[in-house]
Amino acid sequence: FDTTTKGNLYRNSLELFAKNTYKKRGKVGGPRGGGRRGVRSQLDPNLIKKNDDDGDGREDEKKSAGKKNLRLAEPTYIRKHKISLNRPGENEAPLRLIAAEVIDKEWWENPENDNPFGAKLWPSSLGVAKFLVNLGTLKNHDILELGCGAGLISIAAAENGARVVASDISETVLNLTKLGWVETQKQRAGAESGDRKEEASSESKIGTLNTFNMDLSSKRPLPFSSSSDNKKIVVAAAMMYSSDLAKLLARRAYEGCTRGAWVIIGDDDTGEREGGRLAFLTEFALLEKANGKEFPSIWIKSTVKDESLKWNEKRVQILHLNKPSDIT
């Protein structure tokens, strides 16, 4: 993104969260309020070292001495959420995931951070994740997530058997995705060796997840494998809060359709900010007209809720483009 676009995205993000801060603790609350689990450390490729299970903003056992060795552009407080998604099979155990988000007020207020908006979990991501899980096993599917943020969709798809590439322009949120995937695998391994062994997912059903740094405005094509015969799905969520970003997303969505992919995009109420949803639809229609190729589209309204995230009946909309005719 250029400087102007990045600045707009940053301002939009701060507006969304300005009223939800724990000022005394230096944490940012999400739209659903607080939570207990957090982590205090740098978010780096080595992931997180220590937990703050009592939610007091300090590492348990050995309290942290302060932030003087931390670069301000790196988040200090991370909260992990345990999320359970029901599978369609009557006797199948739920899909159990872990996803992480930034709750660091100081990081949110710092214009040097690289993606404040993407470092939170959003209802539309949960909506898309649930939809994918309800399809049943995703083995023999290649799934590309654009603007993956905390990676909830990608983690759910990979845990359900897909070969997943989670892409984003921000290294910070790509590391959040890595953290969630690693923690999810640890949780599964614990279930397989513990009392819930009969509920644990078989290794043969688990897919793969790789991260990829990608700028939507670049000329680089979508990173699909040309050697794979797998069915292809492009997913995204919570990316229409900015009209500029929504237009970029529309171009990539159209590219995905032209390459035979089913495109699934989740949107929150934030899609109405700056006319983002309208900007997406207008741009997509212009591309269809310019290229003489139209794709079927349908919006599906839904609600999601999750106890761990403290979401109660959050409304979302999911757009399907180039949806296969055999999918109901």
Given a cut of 50, is residue 34 above it in pLDDT?
no
pLDDT class for 195, splitting at 50, 70, 90? low
pTM exceeds cut of 0.85: no
CA distance 216 to 228: 23
Q: Show the beta-strand stretches assigned E in 86-242.
A: 95-102, 141-145, 163-168, 208-213, 231-237
DSSP class per residue in 47-75: B---EETT-SSS-SSS----STTS-TTS-
Given a cut of 60, is residue 23 above it in pLDDT?
no
Q: Which two tokens stand for residue 62?
A: 């050995």
- Structural element, H or E, at residue 93: none
Q: Residue 43: what pLDDT? A: 52
Top-confidence residue, 180 or 308:
180
Residue with tokens 């590439």: 165
Given a cut of 70, is residue 50 above it in pLDDT?
no
Of 61-70, 110-119, 215-224, which range is least confident?
Answer: 61-70
**Strand 95-102 to 141-145 pairing:** unpaired
CB-based contact 182:124 (threshold 8 Å): no
DSSP 89: S
- 3-17 helix and 243-258 helix, angle to the nearest 10 degrees: 110
Which of 191, 182, 188 is closest to 151 using CA atoms? 182
Which of 81, 204, 85 is closest to 150 using CA atoms? 81
Average of pLDDT values for 227-246?
93
Of 41-50, 112-121, 226-235, 271-280, which range is least confident?
Answer: 41-50
Helix, strand, coil content of the chain in percent (nearest 5): 35, 25, 40
